[in-house]
């Protein structure tokens, strides 16, 4: 006989509480395992496709690992130093950019910026704050990333754990399926499939879109000659998962920097604007429909709310698990809404009369 509903709610509530408490206290410890799990989940379809082509699971995992390591080494040697250099230069030149903007506005709109006006003082304060806080933040990040522990985590623990998770992914899923409560196994499988489809569409699809667009923006802006093109492309690609925000933020940043670098060279400024316009066309008409699909089930507002809450409560690990948790909650809420609409609480007397008439 199945457990009463009250007992089931109690046990699932205890499970959720244990998960959140573990996330709270073990955030730094489980970080490499969460990263490895995300990598394995992202690459599992590639391994399945290689298996379909005749490779064993071990051979498929080995091929994927070698390719990923090769790409990582190339990125570290060719891209990361330039990215860090440009980010550092951008932070250091921020006060000069603010000063140039103040001079530009003062020259063309003298009534807007008086020497002692609030706008003039705000621009100067912004430049100083960006240089001070941005430089300190960058230095802290670089120092943390350069520590021996973090290097060991990124270069040893994460790849090794990701390799074994990817190798045993199908076996782990089968064992988890075997532990499901028998009465609820069909419903849990259905909900898990919907969560997986949502995550696959968003994480894998939008991750690929972000990577493609970030690479496109960075290379195109650098070819145009924008001084901080790689940083702008990285930022625009990183936040592309929020519709239109990546292009708007990246475009505003690129055009703003281009105004100082290309003032009077309207052809170069036009090319910068055209790069982001073309990127939006490609994203909206090719990349997102092909890689993500028309219905993902993760509204941007809900996603940002989940990222903010979990990031605030659990730090960087919380931000990593925010998307899966948001997807799971979204699926569960839609399922609960469907059950509610099919219940007597929703249909009421009208629903009962309709059922009697149909009967």
Q: DSSP string of 111-179? A: TT--TTSHHHHHHHHHHHHHHHHHHHHHHHHHHHHHSHHHHHIIIIIHHHHHHHHHHTHHHHHHHHHHT
Where along the chain do its domains lie? 26-174, 185-296
pLDDT of residue 263: 66
Token pair listed for 198: 């949502």
- Residue 215 has φ and ψ, to the nearest 5°, of -65, -45
Token pair listed for 10: 């109690």
Note whether 191 and 332 are within 8 A (CB). yes
pLDDT of residue 62: 92
Per-residue CA distances from 18 to 23, 155, 158, 177 (Å): 8, 30, 24, 20
Q: Is the dihedral of CA 191, 196, 201, 207 positive or negative?
A: positive
Helix ranges restricted to H, the chain: 5-25, 27-52, 57-78, 80-108, 118-146, 148-152, 158-167, 169-178, 185-199, 207-224, 229-238, 245-261, 266-282, 300-341, 344-358
Q: How far is it, in rounded angstroms, from Cα 201 to Cα 179?
A: 27
Residue with tokens 């080995």: 62
pLDDT of residue 59: 92
pLDDT of residue 304: 76
pLDDT of residue 255: 78
pLDDT of residue 63: 92
pLDDT of residue 145: 45
| Alpha-carbon dihedral angle through residues 171, 174, 180, 186, given to the nearest 10 degrees | 160
pLDDT of residue 148: 46
Token pair listed for 156: 């040893």
Per-residue pLDDT of the chain (359 residues; tens, 9 = 90+): 456 667 777 777 888 888 778 777 776 677 788 888 888 888 888 899 999 888 889 999 999 989 988 887 877 776 666 666 666 666 666 666 666 666 665 665 555 555 565 655 665 565 555 555 555 545 554 454 444 456 566 677 888 888 999 999 888 988 988 888 887 788 888 888 888 888 777 777 777 888 888 888 888 888 888 777 777 888 888 777 666 677 777 778 787 777 777 766 778 888 888 888 888 888 777 877 777 655 455 676 777 788 788 878 777 777 777 878 888 888 888 888 888 888 777 777 665 555 556 55
Q: How far is it, in rounded angstroms, from Cα 354 to Cα 17?
A: 42
Token pair listed for 271: 């090319």
DSSP state at residue 298 = -
Cβ-based neighbour number of residue 236 at 10 Å: 29
pLDDT of residue 1: 47
List, in order, residues 6 or more apart from 230 with CB less than 8 Å away.
Answer: 79, 82, 83, 86, 218, 221, 222
Nearest to 39 by CA among 252, 204, 278, 217: 204
pLDDT of residue 144: 46
């Amino acid at each position: 006989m199945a457990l009463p509903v009250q007992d089931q709610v109690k046990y699932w509530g205890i499970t959720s509480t244990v998960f959140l408490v573990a996330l709270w206290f073990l955030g730094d410890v489980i970080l490499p395992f969460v990263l490895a799990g995300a990598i394995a989940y992202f690459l599992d379809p590639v391994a399945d496709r290689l298996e379909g082509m005749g490779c064993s699971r071990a051979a498929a995992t080995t091929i994927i690992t070698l390719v990923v390591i090769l790409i990582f080494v190339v990125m570290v040697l060719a891209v990361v130093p330039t990215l860090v250099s440009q980010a550092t230069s951008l932070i250091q030149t921020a006060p000069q950019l603010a000063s140039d903007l103040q001079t530009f506005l003062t020259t063309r709109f003298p009534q807007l910026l008086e020497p002692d006006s609030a706008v003039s003082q705000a621009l100067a304060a912004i430049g100083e704050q960006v240089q001070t806080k941005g430089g300190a933040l960058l230095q802290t990040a670089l120092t943390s990333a350069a520590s021996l522990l973090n290097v060991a985590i990124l270069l040893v623990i994460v790849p090794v754990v990701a390799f074994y998770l990817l190798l045993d992914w199908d076996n782990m899923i089968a064992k988890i399926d075997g532990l499901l409560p028998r009465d609820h196994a069909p419903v849990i499988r259905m909900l898990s499939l919907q969560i997986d489809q949502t995550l696959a569409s968003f994480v894998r699809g939008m991750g690929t879109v972000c990577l493609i667009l970030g690479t496109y923006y960075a290379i195109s802006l650098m070819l145009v000659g924008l001084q901080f093109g790689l940083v702008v492309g990285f930022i625009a690609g990183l936040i592309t998962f929020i519709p239109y925000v990546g292009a708007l933020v990246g475009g505003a940043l690129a055009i703003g920097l281009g105004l100082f670098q290309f003032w009077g060279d309207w052809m170069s400024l036009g090319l910068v604007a055209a790069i982001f316009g073309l990127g939006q066309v490609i994203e909206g008409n090719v990349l997102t429909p092909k890689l993500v699909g028309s219905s993902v089930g993760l509204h941007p507002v809900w996603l940002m709310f989940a990222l903010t809450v979990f990031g605030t409560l659990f730090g960087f690990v919380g931000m990593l698990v925010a998307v899966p948790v948001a997807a799971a909650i979204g699926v569960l809420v839609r399922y609960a809404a469907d059950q509610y609409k099919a219940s007597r609480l929703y249909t009421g007397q009208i629903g009962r009369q309709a059922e009697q008439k149909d009967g």
